[in-house]
Structure 1
Amino acid sequence: MTGSVAEILRGLTPRGRLGFETPLGPRSWFRTGGPAEALFVPDDAEDLADVLSALPATVPVTMLGACSNVILRDGGVRGLVVRMAGGFSEILIEEDGLVAGASALDMIVAERAAQAGLEGLEFLAGIPGSIGGAVVMNAGAYESDIRTVLDWAEILTPDGAIRRLSNEALGFSYRHATLPAGGIVLRARLHARKGDPATIRAHIARIKTAREAAQPVRARTGGSTFRNPEGYKAWQLVDEAGCRGLRMGDAQVSEKHCNFLLNLGNATSSALEGLGEEVRRRVLEKSGISLQWEIKRLGEPAPALSPTGELA
């Protein structure tokens, strides 16, 4: 690559918003992290394709959605960060399902389906985030997941082509989908069945109540930290390793649900990630099971920064 990312991008004239050294921390649910070297919020798929096709292959591209399940490292994210926003939030109701844009929030999709009397998408009300991220990680909760309801997803590939991939082609597995290299989810079709709107809304209300009772939903958190190992519950392994309430400065393992990390106010991303690694170490020592991160950790650690505070 010749020249910095900023030098390369300043020659482009996208219709969307393009900024440089843009703070990302305020966009993260943890409220931590460094800046994006370049942040692009495209107007639509064509705008996004135009910018991506103009980039040298050596420029890394990072996708951000609702930022609900990421740790954005303190050193920031190099290359181009793409944040899908309003131009990708459309929800089209159909007779037996709906088509939702990548930035449509899971909760809004569930509520729109309820309004239309479409049953089977209520579980989305229990998943923080947006549809694009939900497809990428086969998000699931309350006895259902994206694999169960997805008919197809439209994917933008680095060459600017849009491919419509079926459920089978996406190769879903636990918390994972197989996308083409560099592929970006643009929208997805989810099937549903006709139901009574009042009954569907009541189901969503029960999910919301159960989630608030069991999870620290009003805290600065990133959702489930570790994947459930086959045959085990991650939270139970964390609890049995004595990590409930464990702290590293203002980073804490939630006492309410110990598969959640919290920023109590002034935690750094380094502290949150360091605390997560300490939990992994203790679980491995206690149970012999190596927990795998479910939260995405993106970007570069800050030079000369280390997790602050003592374990307590």
Structure 2
Amino acid sequence: MLQVSPEIGTWLTRRSSRTGDWTTADLVEAKRGATVSVVIPARNEEATVGAIVTAIREDLHGVLVDEILVVDSHSTDATAEVAAAAGADVVAQDAVLPALGGLPGKGEALWKGVAATSGDLVVFVDGDLHDFTTDYVTGLLGPLLTDPTVAYVKGFYHRPLGAEADGGGRVTELVARPLLNMFWPELAGFVQPLAGEYAGRREVLESIPFVANYGVEIGHLIDLLERRGLDALAQVDLGHRVHRHQSTQALGRMAGQIMQTLFDRLERYGRLITATPPATMLAQFRRGSSDGFDRELVLTDLTSPERPPLNSLRLRDIA
């Protein structure tokens, strides 16, 4: 029998659900005047973003979803045009709060998406999903609309990779899960702590910082656990997820950003004090000549800047 701590076992029972637990009609009735924004961060996703927007617009817009926003994150293809043609509002990442300048990264797109929308509840959906269904949106909204004590909901799913039904999520299994189990075992019950599909109450999302890069998701979970407690967090089984997979070297850079964020939180919350902070430079090697003997050294700065809580900026002139 699987052995887990009593706290995790209780949380898994109370705070885990499936997208089929609610119908759209159930959620429309539970909405009671609340407004919902869907934010889709997208960088060079012209092949997939249009179908995602179309599905949400046709199935849920005006019924359960009030706003669909695509944040174009420095795309060099027709992502913005495709998203707009499908019926989304589209903003360029750096055009939101321009007085603050721009930072590169997914977390920056998410933060700008919160700033540019107005819904009481915000649902995040990645822009690279294939076979997308609006069950993702209804599933994530279910706990928030039906239980006022839930502040933030993570999705989880089967992630196929080649012949492996759950071969995706390599950074989760090799980096995020071991480190969370070591330092924040309270979060061990999350099936996919790095999932890009999640939702939260606006006042909650505006109260936490957003790491600008791929550390954003693990930063959210740790910050919310420390500030709100485990019972304010929930997770929903969304079925399966098919998306564009990253190269191994790209996953290495992602893993480094996640580790930087986690070590920053260890210091911030006094869980581990180090005399020397971790180095931020990642050295990788790229194949050079076709004979495979030459290697090009590639250096990536993993420094993880973050945006402050949006509610801390409300009194400033940031228009």
Q: Give TM-score scaled by structure 1 length.
A: 0.23
> Larger % of strand: which?
1
Higher RCO (CA-CA < 8 Å; seq separation 6+)? 2
Q: Give TM-score scaled by structure 2 length.
A: 0.23
> Larger % of helix: which?
2
